[in-house]
Structure 1
Amino acid sequence: MNPVFTPPLHLQRHQFVVDFVRKTKPKKVADLGCGECKLLKQLKFHRSIELLVGVDINGAKIKKHVHGLAPLSTDYLQPTNHQLHVELYQGSVTQRDARLRGFDLVTSMELIEHLTLPDVEHFSSVVFGYMSPASVIISTPNSEFNRLLPGLTGFRNYDHKFEWNRSQFRSWAVKVCLDHGYEVEFTGVGEPPQNQLESVGFCTQIGVFHRLKGSSHGNVLPGSEDEVFSYTSVYSINYPSLHDNNTLCKVLMSEVLYWAHQMTNSWMAEKTGRPNGDLPHRESEQGELEEWLSESQKQRACTGGLACSVDYFGRGEEQECGKLPQQQRSATFNRFVLVPLDGLWSCCPKIRELSGSVENLKQLLMDQPQVNLSQDGSSLLVKCEEQDPEQVDCDLEDDKGTRAVPVSCPAEPEEDWEADI
């Protein structure tokens, strides 16, 4: 039985890559021999990565495990500025493909020992010479550790073509560096029993390669005869991102409509004292409301609080206030609240973050069919109540003109719980 590593050895290898990604923050990462895509599933959460690619000779294995790379529901409900494209290919690491050129990081974990020695030479030429990434992480078994694995005879896996000791791995790595303009650091995971690290080494040996500055190795101009495409695309997905204008508009629309209704309902329920949020119609009630609001404004001025104004209007007034759908213009018993865009922008941090300015907010909302803006585009129209037409007719005799009252700012939306993932 093999000795038990805590955590398991394959997780230690993946964690080594994750730690490297956290430190160096690469934008383009490729995993060669991605298999079940376990490493890719960990790397997709790292926001420095904009392009994540996996390559494996076994296309059926990729397709079987690809579901774990799909966006989560929260990625659509709460998209962030994180731009991520995931691409999986079926192909051999001994073949060139121009789509794998110019990456920041290429990883190959426990792969080269499955190749014949002539194919290892092709692998070296393709990865270090043609792909020419900024950094490469290669891991492979350390045969010197095998004697510590009870019951092991031969190689660790039936498909291994060789297993190098530390000296053999170093010789290969140094030759790669000389041939293709890299430098290498040696390390590993899976420590041996106490006091045997020097004599035995790590169970898995790792080489971390860095391309030398100014190296011209592997520089091939786009459109040259070396620009070949030998891999077959198996899976491709773009994660929702606020950098996409359609996604940005959808999220902004959701925030605007939510907070506009929150502000309207808060004013109607709290400031009028009516649990159902009915607007006042009679002069005596309106006077009481205005007196209360006047005192409320004084209090806000003393405390430095921010106040946003809203207007309401009834039958005959809506046509002066902008683009109302025809069905709402004819429904004379509908009443609307005007919520200023500068009030929404000032009170709601998420809207400020998404739009950048009140003018940008106005421009983004102008062509959205879900919203109605006032004629000058400065306010959002929100339908606030429906009453019996006969009651509205009576009320409107006493309710002339457009009123203006302040509404308190809503509480800030909860911080995206996923923002720091």
Structure 2
Amino acid sequence: MMNKIFTPPLCIQRYEFVIDFVKKNKPKKVVDLGCNDCTLLRKLKFHKEIELLAGLDIDSAVIRDNMYELAPIPTDYLQPGDRPLTIELYQGSVTERDPRTKGFDLVTSIELIEHLQFEDVDRFTEVVFDYMAPVAAIISTPNADFNPLLPGLTGFRHYDHKFEWTKVEFQTWALKVCREFGYEVAFTGVGQIPAQEESIGFCSQIGVFQIDRSGGDAPRLQNNVAEEHLPYRLLYNVVYPSLCDSNIFQRTLVNEVLYWAETLKRVWLEETRGVGEEESEQTDEEEGCSREGMDREESKTGEEQADRERVEVGGRGFEVENVEVGQTGEEQADRERVEAGGRGFEVENVEVGKTGEELADRERVEVGGRGFEVENVEVGQTGEEQADRERVEAGGRGFEVENVEVGGEGRTDMGQEEPYREGQSVCVPLVRLCSCPRVQALSGTVQRLTKFLLEDSRVQLTNDGTAVVLVDSDDEDLEWDENCDNTGTGRFLVSSVENEDWETELGQ
């Protein structure tokens, strides 16, 4: 009946109230008294800050019918939490004391107290606020003042209710709790209808109790299970996978590394093949223009050169063709072509000054539409060559290039961050992998990442241990397409679970 009056249904609004409290206060240990079919527990288990989630109900049959819905799902293994989540379900009465319920950060009692015999309310109060002594407690119960607004209702809202408190009666009980056990309470609730009198209050009234710390932090009671009687019967216990388990941590890290290594490899191969296709289409036209330019230059007075130079950067060779030196007093600005590993780089405005003079002009190199600025490229006197440290800026990232020689061979020292080919394999540097947020969060540093990967046979590293080696083959690419979701971290599964439809879980 009430589910038709309120949107969303009243039971869902109560669960949402608890969840909002958990999100804001982040308790680590939560127990739900009167957990019934474990609906609230199923929703709370997705909050990673919770480390212990317990439920208690007098009806063992309803717990057994629903407890396996709290078992870990595949997503929990693919994306384990930083700390283990333990779930415990007990059969027992809330009027009995069990040391396993001490020391919780939050106790919830949603529409439970009205099911107790009135003479048991005082015992319930002492167990919760004196014996269990949680940091916070959320108690909800029907508001009898609201009952006349519910169409067709006669008597109590449920056949098992032993009493229903008015707004004044509930607040009187709650304030007495605060005085006797050192708590503070805030009154609120869920469920209102348009045009109702404000004095009536909510359909479900809620008291949020928090321990009074005005006199300093109260001592937390610790479990002393060995010395006390255990009246509750444990029906279900499960510990979720977490990164605290070394085997799970190792598997999770390796899965992340392989996932991102394959992703980076595929992106790099697509970019490399795309640039190669574009460059091959322009080869004939550019070679023709280059030969025509050379024929024109041969008719001019002075010495002319068209030598192939080689620049090595980080062990990778770049061949420079048709670098022309004009006549004394003349400067040229022709478009030249640099080829590096089959990829074309166009160089604009390479200027050579007069004999005996040195220039330090900023040139621009365009590579596949991306600009690289080169500073301080110096050409010395005729017959002399220099090897100065240059700086290349690409997309705001600086790389220093050493020993760039004109007319000879040189070498550069530059950290390799992008994938590169080695035979039939593609190597993805660990430096690049460690920049992936999830890998970095798990490993911390490249040194630690290397250590973990050396201990796992599923990962092949280069001889120097600086890169992951992946096979580049069509068969392997096909297999990756079919299985990439299995190697990943289950992000989409998490999304689908967290957005479950609460409308299917209605009920008082």
TM-score strictly above 0.5: yes
TM-score, length of structure 1 as denominator length: 0.73
| 1:14-413 equivalent positions in 2, closer than 5 A | 14-81=15-82, 83-191=84-192, 194-198=195-199, 200-213=200-213, 214=215, 220=221, 222-223=223-224, 227-262=228-263, 271=272, 291-292=341-342, 295=345, 299=367, 301-304=392-395, 307-308=417-418, 310=420, 312=422, 339-346=428-435, 348-384=436-472
The verdict on how the C-alpha distance between 1:127 and 1:375 changes in structure 2, with shifts beyond 3 A counting, is same
In 2 relative to 1, CA 309–167 (structure 1 residues): closer, same or farther, beyond 3 Å?
closer
1:33–1:55 CA contact under 8 A, matched in 2: yes
CA distance in 1, matches of 2:101, 2:93: 12
**Matched residue type, 1:211:** I
2:78–2:490: 8 Å Cα contact kept in structure 1? no
Q: Kindly state the Cα deviation for residue 178 of structure 1 after the two structures are TM-superposed.
A: 1.9
Give the stretch that moved more between structures: 203-212 or 336-345. Answer: 336-345
2:11 counterpart residue number: 10
| C-alpha contact 1:188 1:205 (8 A) present in aligned 2 | yes
Map of 2:360 onto structure 1:
none
8 Å contact kept, 1:98–1:229: yes
Counterparts of 2:464 and 2:16, CA distance in 1: 56
Which secondary structure does the structure 2 equivalent of 1:45 belong to?
A: coil
> 2:119 is matched by which residue type in structure 1?
P
Q: Which amino acid aligns with 1:208?
A: V
CA contact (8 A) 1:180 1:218 kept: no
Q: Distance in 2 between matches of 1:95 and 1:265?
A: 61
Where does structure 2 lack aligned partners over 5 or more consecutive residues? 278-316, 320-338, 347-364, 373-391, 398-415, 475-487, 499-508
Cα contact 1:41–1:68 (8 A) shared by 2: yes
- Find the aligned partners of 1:7 and 1:269 in 2 and give their Cα distance: 49
Give SS of 1:308's match.
Answer: coil
Q: How has the CA–CA distance of structure 1 residues 154 and 264 changed in structure 2, closer, same or farther, with 3 Å as cutoff?
A: closer
SS at match of 1:369: coil
Q: Is residue 417–residue 431 contact of structure 2 (8 Å, CA) maintained in 1?
A: no
* Superposed displacement of residue 243, structure 1: 4.3
Cα offset for 1:355? Answer: 1.2
Cα gap change, 1:226 to 1:136, in 2 (>3 Å):
farther
Measured in 1, the distance between the counterparts of 2:73 and 2:105 equals 26
Q: Deviations over 1:397-418 (max 9, x none)?
A: xxxxxxxxxxxxxxxx999465
Q: Deviations over 1:241-288 (max 9, x none)?
A: 34443222212212323444455566677658999xxxxxxxxxx999
Could you tell me which residue of structure 2 aligns to residue 332 of structure 1? none
For residues 225 and 384 of structure 1, the distance between their equivalents in structure 2, rounded to whole angstroms, comes to 60
Instruction: Judge conservation of contact 1:12–1:189 (CA < 8 Å) in 2.
Output: yes
Cα pair distance change 1:260/1:150, threshold 3 Å: closer
For 1:150 and 1:269, the matched residues in 2 are separated by 66
1:183-228 deviation per Cα after TM superposition (whole angstroms, max 9, x unaligned): 2222222225524231x33222221111111478785455488744
Give secondary structure in 1 for the equivalent of 2:5.
coil
The alpha carbon displacement at 1:238 in A equals: 2.9
Q: What whole-Å deviation, never above 9, does each CA across 1:54-101 have from its counterpart, x for those lacking one?
A: 111112211212343233333333345465332222221111222221
Q: Could you tell me whether the CA contact under 8 Å between 1:105 and 1:135 is conserved in 2?
A: yes
Matched residue type, 2:144: S
Compared CA separation, residues 195 and 373, structure 1 to 2 (3 A): closer
TM-fit CA distance, 1:338: 5.1
The structure that has the greater radius of gyration is: 2
Change (3 A) 1:344 1:176: closer
Q: Which structure has greater strand proportion?
A: 2
**Structure 1: gaps spanning 5 or more residues:** 276-285, 314-334, 387-412
Q: C-alpha separation between the residues in 2 aligned to 1:166 and 1:267?
A: 67
Partner in structure 1 of residue 299 of structure 2 = none
Letter of the 1:344 partner, please give it. L
Identity between Structure 1 and Structure 2 (%):
47
Secondary structure at 2:434 match in 1: helix
Rounded to whole Å, the distance in 1 between the matches of 2:79 and 2:209 is 37
Contact 1:93–1:123 under 8 Å retained in 2? yes
Equivalent AA in structure 1 for residue 203 of structure 2: C
CA–CA separation in structure 1 for the residues paired with 2:269 and 2:217: 69
Amino acid at match of 1:172: W
Distance 1:243 1:120, change over 3 A: same
**Structure 1 residue 122 displacement after superposition:** 1.4
Q: Larger deviation: 336-345 or 9-18?
A: 336-345
Cα distance in 2 for residues equivalent to 1:146 and 1:271: 72
| AA of the residue aligned to 1:356 | G
> Quick one: structure 1 residues 253 and 175, their matched pair in 2 at CA, closer, same or farther if it must change by over 3 Å?
same
Does structure 1 conserve the Cα–Cα contact (< 8 Å) formed by 2:421 and 2:427?
yes
Name the aligned partner's letter for residue 292 of structure 1. G
User: TM-score normalized by structure 2?
Assistant: 0.61
Is the CA contact 1:180–1:217 (under 8 Å) kept in the aligned structure 2? no
Greater relative contact order (CA < 8 Å, ≥ 6 in sequence): 1
How many residues align? The count is 362
Paired residues of 2:99 and 2:225 also in contact (CA < 8 A): no
Equivalent residues of 1:132, 1:218 under 8 A apart = no
Tell me which amino acid in the other structure corresponds to 1:206: I
